[in-house]
């Protein structure tokens, strides 16, 4: 099964002979790319169950300020098709991914959080995504998935937008930058490998830029964030069968500390390192008290508020030492942006080529 433009297609295939055995035929119309990973918004199981989403990949969103109690404090700028965000170190600018990716194009824009002015930052054709600020706010790195391709490249560009983009690495499948170390020396990025799923790598910013593996095993490890002192890494792993938040030293020692209890994604550190925020399996924004020393001491996570409908992992950012949050939220409320998923059972029996 595959997409041809926005039409979901199927074609018979002999897995033993590794060859196609019949003509392709359409299964569903208007099936977009998935907003969070750039691949088709469909999945099919071995027992004949098909799930797909129809319609646009990005609905109308807005950047909203929310305090720790869940109270909405106001919006930053006008609504748009926002797919993610990253707030600058001085908390004056948000780098956002903007655009409908159905046609294979999205770009990074810079949103002035005080004036509400937004300006385009990337111009290369393809899916520009995952902006990450340098510790001093002078530049950003981001990934580019060229139109029609699946491999990604990681680029660096001055935040002022005047300088040239610099290719840092051909990062491979799902090679997305995640964070920049506080000392400015390393970028942590994720990459998909056939045998080890999602892995985490450390890329030196200067010198030969030879990537160093951080975590590689048969499980998924992604969404990594350096601690404010640079000595620890928060990340998501499904090694227990459920996506959970862990913290491990940099470089890794093998000793890890589980932060979440019942599932978690999208970790973010408070700027002083005394709290770690994440989103629970039931979409609650959680705050875990944490003490970073020779070991990691973790308090009981507390639920702050329900996070709005998510389109990507980078959909919120804590500011002012965790007293408020900038959240990529559906314009007009969560229900206004809700999109349905169609489930078809025995699709290969009920749908025949035509």
Which domain CATH number covers 324?
A: 2.120.10.30
Instruction: For residue 181, give the H/E element and its range.
Output: none
Nearest in space to 173 (alpha carbons), one of 188, 187, 157, 194:
194
Q: What is the pLDDT of residue 353?
A: 46
For residue 27, how far is the Cα from the chain centroid?
29
Question: Do 289 and 183 sit in the same domain of this protein?
Answer: yes
* Tokens at 182, concatenated: 């506080």
Question: Do 152 and 269 sit in the same domain of this protein?
Answer: yes
Nearest in space to 347 (alpha carbons), one of 104, 35, 52:
52
Domains held by the chain: number: 2
Question: Do 180 and 200 sit in the same domain of this protein?
Answer: yes
Question: Which residues are registered as beta bridge partners of 291?
Answer: 297
Question: Do 49 and 69 sit in the same domain of this protein?
Answer: no
- pTM score, whole prediction: 0.82
Question: Do 296 and 244 sit in the same domain of this protein?
Answer: yes
Question: Which residues are registered as beta bridge partners of 306?
Answer: 284
Nearest in space to 289 (alpha carbons), one of 277, 305, 307:
277
Question: Do 251 and 282 sit in the same domain of this protein?
Answer: yes
Question: Do 35 and 120 sit in the same domain of this protein?
Answer: no
R_g of the chain computed on alpha carbons: 21
With a cut of 80, say whether residue 81 has pLDDT above it.
no
Q: What is the mean pLDDT of residues 309-315?
A: 71
Instruction: For residue 347, give the H/E element and its range.
Output: helix 347-350
3-state secondary structure of 348: helix
For residue 334, what are the contacts with CB-CB under 8 A and spacing of at least 6? 308, 309
Tokens 């308090």, residue located: 299
User: What pLDDT digit, counting tens, does each position of 194-226 carry?
Assistant: 888 899 999 999 989 999 999 999 999 999 999
Question: Do 24 and 87 sit in the same domain of this protein?
Answer: no
For residue 162, what are the contacts with CB-CB under 8 A and spacing of at least 6? none
Q: Are 234 and 222 in contact (CB under 8 A)?
A: no
Nearest in space to 98 (alpha carbons), one of 131, 76, 74:
131
Q: What is the pLDDT of residue 210?
A: 95
Q: Which domain holds residue 40?
A: 2-55+339-350
* Tokens at 196, concatenated: 């080890």
Question: Do 43 and 77 sit in the same domain of this protein?
Answer: no
Eight-class DSSP state of 307: P
With a cut of 50, say whether residue 114 has pLDDT above it.
yes
For residue 99, what are the contacts with CB-CB under 8 A and spacing of at least 6? 58, 81, 83, 105, 106, 107
Eight-class DSSP state of 349: H
Question: Do 248 and 194 sit in the same domain of this protein?
Answer: yes
Q: What is the mean pLDDT of residues 110-125?
A: 92
Q: Which of the four pLDDT bands, split at 50, 70 and 90, describes residue 354? A: very low
Q: What is the pLDDT of residue 101?
A: 46
With a cut of 90, say whether residue 284 has pLDDT above it.
yes
Question: Do 40 and 155 sit in the same domain of this protein?
Answer: no
What whole-number distance in Å separates Cα of residue 295 and Cα of residue 318? Answer: 24
Q: For residues 282 and 58, which has the higher predicted lDDT (pLDDT)?
A: 282
Eight-class DSSP state of 335: G
Return the beta strands (E) in 134-196 as ranges.
139-145, 151-158, 166-173, 176-180, 186-193
Question: Do 148 and 7 sit in the same domain of this protein?
Answer: no
């Amino acid at each position: 099964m595959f997409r041809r433009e926005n039409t979901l297609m199927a074609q018979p295939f002999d897995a033993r002979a590794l060859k196609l055995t019949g003509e392709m035929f359409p299964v569903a119309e208007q099936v977009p790319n998935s907003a969070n990973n750039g691949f088709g918004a469909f999945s099919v199981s071995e027992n004949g169950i098909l799930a797909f989403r129809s319609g646009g990949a990005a609905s109308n969103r807005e950047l909203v300020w929310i305090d720790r109690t869940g109270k909405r404090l106001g919006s930053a700028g006008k609504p748009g098709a926002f797919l993610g965000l990253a707030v600058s170190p001085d908390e004056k600018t948000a780098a956002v991914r903007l655009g409908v990716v159905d046609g294979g194009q999205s770009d990074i824009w810079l949103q002035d959080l005080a004036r509400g002015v937004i300006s385009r930052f990337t111009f290369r054709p393809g899916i520009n995504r995952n902006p990450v600020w340098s510790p001093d706010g002078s530049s950003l790195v981001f990934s580019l998935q060229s139109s029609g391709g699946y491999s990604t490249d990681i680029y660096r560009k001055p935040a002022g937008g005047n300088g040239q983009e610099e290719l840092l690495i051909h990062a491979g499948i799902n090679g997305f930058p995640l964070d920049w170390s506080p000392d400015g020396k390393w970028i942590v990025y994720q990459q998909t490998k056939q045998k080890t799923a999602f892995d985490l790598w450390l890329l030196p910013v200067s010198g030969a830029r030879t990537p160093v593996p951080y975590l590689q095993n048969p499980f998924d490890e992604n969404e990594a964030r350096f601690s404010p002192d640079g000595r620890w890494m928060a990340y998501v792993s499904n090694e227990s069968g459920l996506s959970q938040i862990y913290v491990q030293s940099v470089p890794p020692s093998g000793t890890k500390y589980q932060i979440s209890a019942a599932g978690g994604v999208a970790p973010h550190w408070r700027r002083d390192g005394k709290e770690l925020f994440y989103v629970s399996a039931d979409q609650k924004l959680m705050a875990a008290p944490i003490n970073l020393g020779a070991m990691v001491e973790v308090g009981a996570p507390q639920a702050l508020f329900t996070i709005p409908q998510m389109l990507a992992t980078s959909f919120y950012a804590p500011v002012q030492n965790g007293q408020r949050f900038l959240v990529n939220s559906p314009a007009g409320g969560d229900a206004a942006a809700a999109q349905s998923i169609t489930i078809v059972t025995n699709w290969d029996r009920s749908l025949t080529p035509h």
